[in-house]
Amino acid sequence: MLPQVNIIRANNGDFLSFFEQKGISGVLTAFGAWDELTIALARTLVDITDLPPVIMDIGANMGTFTVPVAKHVAGRGGQVHSFEPQKIVFYQLCGNIFLNRLDNVWANNMALSSANEFREIPRMNFDTAWNIGAYSLVPDVDPQQKLETKDPCEFRKLDDLELAARITLIKLDVEGMEIEVLGGAMNRIAKDGFPPILFESLTQDPRSAEVKTLLTSAGYKLSQYADEDWLAQHGDWPVEIALVKGENGMSYGRLR
């Protein structure tokens, strides 16, 4: 059996969570939101373009990005496609989508990567895990890879997914898997005109430099807006925002 579950009434939606408040759930309970700046940037990036919003949430976890962003774009017929490889966390994501009555989210129990294959991934111990959101599929990033219980998981290239609509925003939070995800996604990204990418890059991960090199070599300009959070924007995309760090935090506005 899983631990006891309760509902957190947060600022941007309601969320099913394990009763013992840890990690993301603890922040949601204490402050009513998680990663507000990323959500605000996402809203701005989809609002300043006339394109129908089609957003990829890669590494969706329990849906703290999916839910508020899907709510925001629902009135414009927007879509959010969410990807979460952990079986139990995927169930949690689906529960939160349903709890918030969202019919514009497509949830996928898979990992995006540079190859189409099936692998076994470690199953987290939900009784003892402190931060479910810090789970990584990369062994040297997450010691939980040493867990003995495994679950089968589908890995797919974004390039090979059948998505009829043009992608207008990508959010990427995959705890060290960024280079693998992008390695299987750049053809689709180029086809869709290089949409903006909000991504996390772990400071202690030596692969973070590879991620930035890959994006800049493709023509993206990178802006850091938090300790480990970055915005990648491309000159071929029809709009761009400028980020300015000041004494009172980060401000941003449309550049073109």
- Residue 15: per-residue pLDDT: 95
Compute and round to an integer the Cα radius of gyration of the chain: 17
Contact 174, 142 (CB under 8 A): no
Average pLDDT per consecutive 10 residues, the chain (256 residues; last block may be shorter): 90 87 79 91 96 97 97 97 96 98 98 95 68 54 59 95 95 92 98 98 80 97 93 97 86 90
Q: Domains in the chain and their CATH numbers?
A: 5-127+144-254 (3.40.50.150)
Asked if 93 contacts 82 with a C-beta cutoff of 8 angstroms, the reply is yes
CB atoms under 10 Å from CB of 127, counted, come to 10
Residue 176, Ramachandran bin (φ over 0: left; ψ between -120 and 50: alpha; else beta)? left
Closest residue by Cα to residue 11 from 37, 32, 27 = 32
Residue 204, pLDDT score = 72
Task: Copy the structure tokens of residue 14.
Answer: 């309601």
Q: Is the backbone of residue 101 left (phi > 0), alpha (psi -120 to 50) or beta?
A: left
pLDDT at 143: 53
Q: Which two tokens stand for residue 55?
A: 């957003």
pTM: 0.90
pLDDT at 33: 86
